[in-house]
Structure 1
Amino acid sequence: MSFLRTIGKAWPLIQRVPIRSSWVTSTSAAGPAVTRRFQNIHRHSLHTTPCTQLFIPAYSQPEKEARTKAPVLQNIPIQNVWEEFLERVKNDDDITEDYLILVCRHIKRDGRSESIPMMQTVMREINKRKEEKNLAKAFTIGCNMLIHLFINKEDLQSARTIFYRMSKMNTQPNEVTITTMINGIAKLGTTQDLHDFYELFTDEEKKTCSADVYKRFIIAFGERGDLANARKYLDLMSENNQIKEDSPYNTMLTFYENINDHAKAVDVFEAMIKHDVKPTEHTYAILLATLKKCEEIEKMDEVYQHMLQSGTIPNSGHLLVMGMSPEMALDELRRLNVNTSTRDYNACIAITVRQNRFDQALRMFRKMAKDNVSPDVFSYAIVIDAIAKDDTQDADLAFELFDEMRNRGIRSDVVLYTSLISLCSRKNDMPNIMRLLRDMKESGVKPNIYTINTIIGSLLNKHKLHPKDIEIADSMWTQIELNNLNPDTRTYNMLISLLSRKINPTRKMGDPYIQNNKYEEMPFEMKRILRLFKEMKSRRSKSTRPDFITYTVVINSLVGCGQLKQAVLLHEEARSYRINLSLSAYNNLMDGLEKTSQMTQVMTIWHYMKTQNILPDDDTYGIVLESCRTLGLTDAFSSIRMQRKADFARLSELDSIRAKRPGQLSMM
């Protein structure tokens, strides 16, 4: 964009952008440093793929020269991608624009702290070769991705530096650059920063900006709850630009729907009409829903009539948001001589299922054929998922529907397979789960993280583990790597919990305790639990952050294998993060301390539990009373015993619950 042309002299180099790390910035040193860091992180990496097989097969020289099509982004470990890139740079071998863009995409997708210096190294290579190989496209895309990475690291200043310096290299920011910056300022900057960014645009640029740019400004203010400024930018778009798209208006309508402001929603709708922007079916759906929620029934009917008169064909979604039952909605479409679609039926079936009217939903599903409407994979998925989540439904019906769908030639998707796996998990039917997994592979359907979690969860729900269950869980971890999935906290917690059940599973509260703080004498399962726990923290992602379940299971496992000192340290770490553990962790920890004559620490944990309002059970009282007796704390002993007596009713109820759910409270 031309407003950046006035900023100054040529860009010295991208590597001068300040980064908050100790990375070496020279090309020769940065690459191996990054590789070494990745070798420490990828403990579960697959076997190393030969460089020539990463993106493309080995080609003869004529084939290399003829090859122009960009390779497809594959699920390859970033370490392998990086090693191949360094090898190509070293040998100056076949570094095309498509290849450089592909490397940038791999780095961006990985998104870890190492990604920024890696991307900077790639950008230096692009900059060196830009003139001789015409790499302008790769340079712009690389800059955009580097801006994205800095924003993800909450470093807005560095993102701005990249943005402003693009023009100094005679590279104009494109729409992706602009929208990425708006998103970053919205996330990390102030309201004034957003206004200032808009003022960088010339009058001509304000007139030629796309609807998406204005929409991003509207979203940026709207998500802050600043609807006045969001509306201001909608009006600026209308004044400065001849955009005739409905999307920015619909975005504004959605914000008003969220706060139930029907008057301003109607005002936006009227502004659309005034500026000759034709409302779409989505526009009408948002406005009708807003008016219904605000009980503006007369105005809702008026808007509905406007929709019919405008020639916009209604669908079941419009009628459902107006408050019609699914049956009434389908009848209304027939009255209007509108051909009901698969989408209409899917919406009605989904609402009926949500209303816990499964029998009616199944009848509606069967009625599709009578209306000459063909069900699709979503139709089957809605019904099968409802069966999977309802213990009262016949599981065989789900598989009958699955077979019927395949006989119709409808290809299943990962959501449907996951529902069936969940159904089998409910019944501890591991053979059928494995059969479905094989079927997925043969059908070319890749699992997602919910599929993996469902399978590991089914293993965890088993009352008694089979020796091969850990192998199955390990194979699921391999699937995570093969399909480039991102495990979440639940994935880690379940795998850690499975491993914990292999550690001293027969020890009960009050049994003799053998302390052993030597790492080399830890069970293999305990060492693996600690590796997984460390990996969770190293990812530095909210989606993999250890939670109270993680700390509870790891502490229980450490206590169970005699690693009491490390368990105490981990409890202190949890306290520093203000994470309160499940009661079992406090009990196990105090029991180990009491058995090893560390009564003072028992009382420290007891007092901490009281400050956090963590209610004790009979085991807790027993451990603490014994510690008081040993330490000679007569007054404390009497006080706690009286507290236990007053707590009798709750303790009895807790014992009753445990009796009904044996073996299921290990993490509670």
Structure 2
Amino acid sequence: MLNRFCKLWPQTALLVRRSYRPRFQSYVTEFVHDKTAIKAISTKTLEHSTTTTTTKSANNLEQVSTDDTNSSTLEDADKWAWYNKQKQDSRTITPEEFIDTGVYIIKSRTSNTMTVARLQALLRDVNIQIQTTQDPELVKAFLKICNMLLSAYVRTKNIKDAKLVFDGLIASPFWEGNEEITTVSVVTLMYGILENGTRSDFYKFINSVSKQNKLPCTERVYRELLYILNQYRDVNACRHYFKIMKEKGLLVHEPPYKPMFQALTIENNSEEALELLQEMKEKGIQPTTGVYCMVLRMLHDNKKNSKENKERMEQVYQEMLDSGVELNVAVYISMGWDPLDALAELKKRSSAPISSRDYNTCLSRLIRTNRIQDALQLYRNMIKEGAAIDQYAYSMIMDAAAKDNDQPPEAVYEIYEEMKQQGLQLDEVAYTIVLGACAKEKNLTRAIKYIEEMIHYGIHPNQKNMNAFLAVVATSSSTSFNPRKLRDIWLALVSMGLQPDTRSFNIYFSALYKQMQLWKARGRSYYASESQEDSYGNPTRGPCRYMVMGYRAMKERGPSSRPDFATYTILIKGLACGGFTRLAMQIYEDAKNERVYLDVTAFNELIMALDKKGDLSDIMSIWYDMKLLNVPPDNTTYDLVMDTCEKLGLHETFLNIRSQRKNDFDRLWNKSNK
């Protein structure tokens, strides 16, 4: 009987048996690895966690907790339970209480489905109260909670439903007269489309809102619009909306000028940048160091009239010194200086100690130009000089050490320990890096230790931490993780409220497939008999069952977990390896329908499984699919297909494929010698 999975969360065993969404607070403190299981020796509750209240409401299946600073009352400990109690008592709820409840819902680590359902219920209640009281403060509360719902949809990459909410908002009578709140609505959806939509979607959205005259006339909306257009590298559109900002009188201080300067750097248009700089001075707007840096960079990078531009660069630099703005190392780097020389020059010119930001700028520049050794040496010099090293610098150095093949993982761990000794606040980024180092040396024990530390310091793991930890599990040399235990780890991570994305699923599937490969390498098969199939041919146990379950969950979760080429490749190879050829063929058909390009190894694994089952005609169908999809075969493919032709008596086809293989000799030779 399977040992209970390491008590990482006390209700994991129950979660394996039935589907619900609890949140857990007890975590493992020590794991013992042996040949058969991973056992938990003890568990402990987060020092930073607080009173957990389990509600009896049908709407409240999960446990809810808050920080110590906010948990002195029942309302703070479980705002949603408190809110439902007020409704049951027919008490009038104030606008502030509606907003506080909405904020609680967003911050609580429930599932996305639960978050959306609660916000929708809250909006219905606010709307009912608006109809009876006509309170303008309730209208503002309604709009703010709508923004929370927008944010919840964007967070799950569900732009379709986010647009439906937004369309309902601009069609409502509440839109006008609340520019401060509606600005948040527009900006939230703009960035949601930027991250999860297409360029066409974004332009369609902006044009639609502009035609309806619903675009709030605020500096923030247009400023963020310019920044997003910069992401699309659309300089002409930036000029268009910058001109509109001028006409509307929104250019009264420096921030909205920044994205326009940024757009000009795309074209390296130093002439227009100098004109814009002059315009700012004429309006009495003092350019910041950041603006001067962009202008200096454009003048340096503009190779036309290089002598004239060099003189202009010196003029702008002198003008900047005369203006009295802060001088930093980025100024010299923008003028083409080496980062280390720029730092030395700043030390000469400034009597004050070099700031952490200047050191970070140099470190960032060195790392981006792949000068890892120089970055590490600068870090050592900073320690010798007693320079202030902040959290950002430590994270950069850890990341640089992790990416440097000459640096062992221990170098990352040492920097992490130094960061702890300095008393700096640890965050999810630092743990993602150290977990990545654990994956590099396949050290599962250390990875579990870092997860434990995260919990000890009150840091809730995010999606990147989840993926990094799963990568350690997938690459671990330990064979004690059988598929069931791996499944339990997956469920435990999901139960924390983490939302797996495509990468998460791919790592999970890869780890399951690795287990099957381990069995195969030992000359055994995980699925020894067809009795492990149900009446529909689906696996009843083991890694293939978990693969199928995970694949179905992916398709239900939405855009953030959409299967990609790696997903289909791993699933086809895994199911084919397990002998579930029919399921592998179904997923292969899904990949074709989604127009996903598969690697030749996936085709080979599928052909071998079909050959084992005796489905020879399907092998030829796949061969012709490969030709249509322009997937170049390798030697294994040729061997398998030619063998099939012999079995089917397709003599002419056999000769044609053999001729094709001869013509393909050079490519196959180069591929085999890589």
Instruction: Name whichever of 573-582 and 224-233 sits farther off.
Output: 224-233
Deviation for aligned residue 1:377: 2.1
Q: Is residue 416 of structure 1 aligned with residue 420 of structure 2?
A: no
Equivalent residue for 2:242, pick from 208, 211, 234: 234
- Distance of aligned partners of 1:147 and 1:619 in 2 relative to their CA distance in 1, 3 Å threshold: closer
Q: Is residue 123 of structure 1 aligned with residue 123 of structure 2?
A: yes
Corresponding residue for residue 205 of structure 1: none
The amino acid across from 2:54 in the alignment is P
Aligned residues: 592
- Distance of aligned partners of 1:364 and 1:538 in 2 relative to their CA distance in 1, 3 Å threshold: same
Equivalent residue for 1:298, pick from 296, 305, 311: 311
Deviation for aligned residue 1:586: 1.3
- Contact 2:261-2:294 within 8 A present in 1 as well: yes
Question: 2:360, 2:162 → 1: CA distance?
Answer: 44
- Distance of aligned partners of 1:402 and 1:544 in 2 relative to their CA distance in 1, 3 Å threshold: same
The amino acid across from 1:144 in the alignment is N
Corresponding residue for residue 478 of structure 1: 492
- Distance of aligned partners of 1:86 and 1:572 in 2 relative to their CA distance in 1, 3 Å threshold: farther
Corresponding residue for residue 286 of structure 1: 294
Q: Is residue 45 of structure 1 aligned with residue 21 of structure 2?
A: yes
Q: Is residue 181 of structure 1 aligned with residue 186 of structure 2?
A: yes
Question: 1:504, 1:427 → 2: CA distance?
Answer: 20
SS in 2 for 1:349: helix
- Contact 1:215-1:251 within 8 A present in 2 as well: yes
- Contact 2:270-2:299 within 8 A present in 1 as well: yes
Question: 1:521, 1:361 → 2: CA distance?
Answer: 52
Query: How is 1:266-285 mapped onto 2 (pairs within 5 angstroms)?
Result: 266-285=274-293
Deviation for aligned residue 1:654: 4.5
Question: 1:191, 1:271 → 2: CA distance?
Answer: 28
Question: CA offsets, 1:442-462, max 9 Å, x none?
Answer: 223333322222222123224
Question: CA offsets, 1:189-221, max 9 Å, x none?
Answer: 3665454355887xxxxxxx5421332454466
SS in 2 for 1:447: coil
Q: Is residue 333 of structure 1 aligned with residue 346 of structure 2?
A: yes
- Contact 2:576-2:584 within 8 A present in 1 as well: yes
Query: How is 1:97-112 mapped onto 2 (pairs within 5 angstroms)?
Result: 97-105=95-103
SS in 2 for 1:392: coil
Corresponding residue for residue 206 of structure 1: none
Q: Is residue 522 of structure 1 aligned with residue 534 of structure 2?
A: no
Question: 2:452, 2:228 → 1: CA distance?
Answer: 45
Instruction: Name whichever of 457-466 and 145-154 sits farther off.
Output: 145-154
Question: 2:241, 2:608 → 1: CA distance?
Answer: 63
The amino acid across from 1:399 in the alignment is Y
Query: How is 1:166-315 mapped onto 2 (pairs within 5 angstroms)?
Result: 166-167=173-174, 172-181=177-186, 184=189, 187=202, 189=204, 192-193=207-208, 195-198=210-213, 209-219=217-227, 227-241=235-249, 243-295=251-303, 296-315=309-328
Corresponding residue for residue 490 of structure 1: 503
Q: Which structure's relative contact order is higher, taking Cα pairs within 8 Å and 6+ residues apart?
A: 2
Corresponding residue for residue 32 of structure 1: none
- Contact 2:645-2:653 within 8 A present in 1 as well: yes
Corresponding residue for residue 643 of structure 1: 660
Corresponding residue for residue 661 of structure 1: none
- The normalised TM-score by structure 1 is 0.77
Equivalent residue for 2:593, pick from 551, 560, 576: 576
Question: CA offsets, 1:76-99, max 9 Å, x none?
Answer: xxxxx6x98667645547855455
Corresponding residue for residue 142 of structure 1: 145
Identity %: 25
The amino acid across from 1:426 in the alignment is K
Q: Is residue 368 of structure 1 aligned with residue 385 of structure 2?
A: no
The amino acid across from 1:173 in the alignment is N
Q: Is residue 436 of structure 1 aligned with residue 450 of structure 2?
A: yes
The amino acid across from 1:527 in the alignment is R
Instruction: Name whichever of 576-585 and 521-530 sits farther off.
Output: 521-530
- Contact 1:215-1:248 within 8 A present in 2 as well: yes
- Distance of aligned partners of 1:235 and 1:592 in 2 relative to their CA distance in 1, 3 Å threshold: closer
- Contact 1:537-1:544 within 8 A present in 2 as well: yes
The alignment's C-alpha RMSD in Å is: 4.0
Segments of structure 2 that go 5 or more residues without pairing to the other structure are: 1-14, 25-52, 57-61, 191-200, 304-308
The amino acid across from 2:177 in the alignment is Q
- Contact 1:503-1:523 within 8 A present in 2 as well: no
Corresponding residue for residue 540 of structure 1: 558
Instruction: Name whichever of 328-337 and 392-401 sits farther off.
Output: 392-401
Deviation for aligned residue 1:387: 1.8
Question: CA offsets, 1:123-143, max 9 Å, x none?
Answer: 221122346686344223124
The amino acid across from 2:338 in the alignment is S
Instruction: Name whichever of 86-95 and 547-556 sits farther off.
Output: 86-95
Deviation for aligned residue 1:623: 1.9
SS in 2 for 1:393: coil
Segments of structure 1 that go 5 or more residues without pairing to the other structure are: 1-38, 58-62, 75-80, 202-208, 658-668
Corresponding residue for residue 20 of structure 1: none
- Contact 1:211-1:247 within 8 A present in 2 as well: no
Question: CA offsets, 1:471-518, max 9 Å, x none?
Answer: 467436524542x33322111111112123334754589999976763
The amino acid across from 1:573 in the alignment is D
Corresponding residue for residue 589 of structure 1: 606
The amino acid across from 2:22 in the alignment is L
SS in 2 for 1:141: helix
Instruction: Name whichever of 554-563 and 185-194 sits farther off.
Output: 185-194
- Distance of aligned partners of 1:279 and 1:571 in 2 relative to their CA distance in 1, 3 Å threshold: same
Corresponding residue for residue 153 of structure 1: 160
- Contact 1:503-1:560 within 8 A present in 2 as well: yes
- Contact 1:504-1:561 within 8 A present in 2 as well: no
Corresponding residue for residue 3 of structure 1: none
- Contact 1:496-1:554 within 8 A present in 2 as well: yes
Question: CA offsets, 1:225-263, max 9 Å, x none?
Answer: 654453344344345436532111001111111232222
Question: CA offsets, 1:603-625, max 9 Å, x none?
Answer: 11001111222122333222211
Question: 1:416, 1:155 → 2: CA distance?
Answer: 32
- Distance of aligned partners of 1:626 and 1:370 in 2 relative to their CA distance in 1, 3 Å threshold: closer
- Contact 1:453-1:490 within 8 A present in 2 as well: yes
